[in-house]
Amino acid sequence: MPATKKKSSSSKKRSTGRKYGPKAQADVKKEMHDFKRGKARSGPGGKGGKVKSRKQAIAIGLSKARKEGAKVPNKRAA
């Protein structure tokens, strides 16, 4: 019988390091801080309405980090 080769789990390429950079984490943390105090605003220049959910606050923080060139994964297609 021919010997069959098993694929080892170590052969998969794994990403090294963190998914989000420290600058991105700081931006999200600041946005969550503002959200919890009711001061987070959405829209261009913060002139829109009040941020209603945690997910929205996180998305705004990540968007600001992307604009500043921080290490953030690409947006998911939804």
Domain boundary assignment for the chain: 20-67
22: burial class by Cβ within 10 Å (0-12, 13-18, 19+)?
Answer: exposed
3-class secondary-structure state, position 13: coil
pLDDT in tens, 5-29: 666 655 566 667 888 999 999 999 9
pTM for this model (two decimals): 0.71
Is residue 77 over pLDDT 90? Answer: no
For the ranges 3-12, 26-35, 43-52, the lowest mean pLDDT is seen at 3-12
Average pLDDT in the 45-54 region?
88
List phi, psi (to 5°) of 71: -80, 105
Average pLDDT over residues 63-78: 88
Q: Where are the alpha helices (DSSP H) in the chain?
A: 22-36, 54-67
Q: Is the separation of the CB atoms in 51 and 41 below 8 Å?
A: yes
Distance CA 2, CA 42 (A): 63
